[in-house]
Amino acid sequence: MPQNQRDIKRRIQSTKNTAQITKAMEMVAAAKLRRVQEAVQQSKPYLAKMQSMLAGISKSARWVKHPLLAERPIRRTGYLVITGDRGLAGPYNSQIIRTALQEFRRRDKDTYVIYAIGRRGRDFFRKHGYPVGGEVVGVPDVPTYDSVRDLATQVVQAYADEQFDELYFIYNEFINPVTQRPVVKKVLPLSDVGEAPASSAQYLFEPDAETVFASLLPRYAETLVYQAVLDAKASFHGAQMTAMGNATDAAKEMIESLTLQLNRARQAAITTQIVEIVGGAEALK
Amino acid sequence: MSSVLLEVVTPERLVVSEQVNFITVLTGGGELGILPHHAPLAATVKPCIVKVRTDAGEDYINVNGGFLEIQPDKVTILADAAELASMIDVARAQAAKERAERRLAQREGVDVLRAELALQRALRRLEVVELSGKAGNVLGSGNQK
């Protein structure tokens, strides 16, 4: 235990520096979380509107068949896995990857395909030889529709082309800033379309029902992708905030115990000195 | 004058929510003018400049394609992207226009369709700014970022 005082002082200083950084990261994550939550709020009307429009139209155009609605025998499954681009967010990324692996374990490599959003997930799946069909990295902290649009279009198109027969999202659902829950959610074929509000009248169509319906459905699916990305981003900032908060607390605790050690060491040094002086004085008598 | 609520919504935000008297929009089936009490209608919307008339005057919205739904009391445009003149960066639109024109002039090794779309988007933006400026930027004064 009698450690060099200078060593302890140095450790305290370095721990303090770390705490400063983690504290700053916590606050940055908190600010970003707030902005993403705002974006989630802002994006709600679009989705709600689209749902009610789909419901209304599917009532008027019940005869229209569309590949996004059709249940097909499952030969291949698509997974859209959303992770973060960076670490330092506690178990955020590993949780997702673990959930995904559990899902994949039951399957042969040629019966599924992965679409990866986020650098962490992409790197992992690539490195370990999982089939990655498409990817996006570098989604902004507050995701824009444009940033995920290409992939969303690609995924929806691949489904329509029957490259796979069902699509799942795997991402961290945002419960509240300190809780995220990894979920595996079935998205395609679309199933929740068609509960028409009672008031909706028969629609006219321009140019015709098939065209409207057929262009609305893929856009709806793409919107679901965007929503999931927003949700996952909110979770990411929440997870990072929590992780950095914990790190700051841990650092503070460490500083406390180190300070105690330092004081003890100093006390011990003083005691030794006094004993030496007293001993020396005794010897002179 | 009777009016109807117009909402322009993009995946990222609600762009316009306003009482208007008249709307023109380019649908998949052609140009469509909408007055209050229009019959329920659903349509695809092509990239176009949406013109609206309110009690305060006229204004223009750049809409990048999407969908239109008319209900008895409400007209909703679900746009991939939409912007009022006040949200358009003129310098950027100008730069985009020149870039697209260069690409198109080059012709080789370029995604012509994409350049064409980019050019039209830039042109629409510039036009919206001009038209809207003339009409006095009626919509969304104040509450936009």
Same domain as A119, residue A251: no
For an interface test with B, the pick among A212, A225, A227 (most B C-beta atoms closer than 10 Å) comes out as A212
CA–CA distance, A56 with A103 (Å, rounded to integer): 35
In chain A, what is the straight-line distance between the N-terminal and C-terminal CA atoms, in Å? 35
**Among candidates A184, A170, A181, A189, which has minimal Cα distance to A68?**
A189
Same domain (yes/no): A191, A209: yes
**Quick check: is A144 in a domain?**
yes
- Are residue A186 and residue A230 in the same domain, yes or no? yes
From residue A218, alpha-carbon distances to A47, A79, A111, A189, B139 in Å are: 13, 17, 23, 11, 31
Cis-peptide into A189, omega within 30 deg: yes
**A17 & A71 share domain:** no
DSSP symbols for A166-195: EEEEEEEEEEETTEEEEEEEEEES--S---
Taking contacts as CB-CB distances below 8 angstroms, the residues of chain B near A47 are 11
pLDDT reading at A196 higher than 60: no
Question: A165: closest CA among A64, A66, A71?
Answer: A71
Domain count along chain A? 2
Q: Is the preceding peptide bond at A207 cis, omega within 30 degrees of 0?
A: yes
Name the pairing type of β-strands A166-176 and A77-82. parallel
CA dist., res. B50 & res. B52, Å (int): 7
Residues 17-76 of B with CB under 8 A from A: 27-30, 32, 39-44, 66-69, 71-72, 76
Closest CA to A210 of A71, A66, A51, A53: A66
> Which chain A residues are within 8 Å of B80, Cβ to Cβ?
145, 219
Q: CA dihedral in degrees (A104, A107, A111, A112; nearest 10)?
A: -10
Q: Do A18 and A51 lie in a common domain?
A: no
Domains and CATH numbers, chain B: 1-140 (2.60.15.10)
Nearest-CB residue to A206 (from B12, B41, B71): B41
- Residues A67, A64: Cα–Cα separation, whole Å: 10
Same domain, A8 and A41: no
Q: Which structural domain range is residue A99 located in? A: 27-240
Of A39, A42, A215, the CB nearest to B44: A215
Beta-carbon contacts of A245 under 8 Å, excluding residues fewer than 6 positions away, are A26
CATH number at residue A112: 3.40.1380.10
A285 part of a folded domain: no
Beta-carbon separation of A207 and B40 below 8 A = no
State whether A42 and A76 are in the same domain: yes
Please report where in the chains the tokens 């235990």 appear, as a residue: A1
Is the same domain home to A66 and A116? yes
pLDDT digits (tens, 9 = 90+) for A79-124: 999 998 888 888 889 989 999 898 888 888 788 888 899 999 899 9
- Would you state the pLDDT for residue A195? 56
B141: pLDDT strictly greater than 80: no
pTM as predicted:
0.82
**Is A197 a domain residue?**
yes
pLDDT of residue B142: 41
Q: Are residues A13 and A142 in the same domain?
A: no
Regarding whether A89 and A121 lie in a shared domain, the answer is yes
Whether B13 and chain A come into contact, CB under 8 Å, resolves to yes
What token pair was written down for A152? 């969303």
**Dihedral, CA of residue B106, residue B108, residue B110 and residue B116, to nearest 10:** 50
Chain A residue closest in CA terms to B25: A206
Cβ-Cβ contacts under 8 Å for A137 (sequence gap 6 or more): A85, A117, A118, A119, A122
The lowest-confidence range among A110-114, A274-278, B141-145 is B141-145
Structural contact between residues A102 and A68, judged by C-beta atoms closer than 8 angstroms: no
In whole angstroms, how far apart are CA B88 and each of B20, B61, B114, B132? 22, 10, 20, 11
Confidence of residue B143 (pLDDT cuts 50, 70, 90): very low
Same domain, A82 and A212: yes
Q: Say which CATH number the domain at A8 has.
A: 1.10.287.80
| Cβ separation A206–B44 shorter than 8 A | yes
| Nearest-CA distance B119 → chain A (Å) | 18
Q: What local confidence, expressed as pLDDT, does residue A194 receive?
A: 56
pLDDT digits (tens, 9 = 90+) for B37-56: 888 888 889 888 898 888 88
A99 & A219 share domain: yes
Residue A175: which of A74, A33, A67, A270 has the closest Cα?
A33
Task: Check B29 against A204: CB less than 8 A apart.
Answer: no
B52 in Cβ contact with B19 (< 8 Å) = no
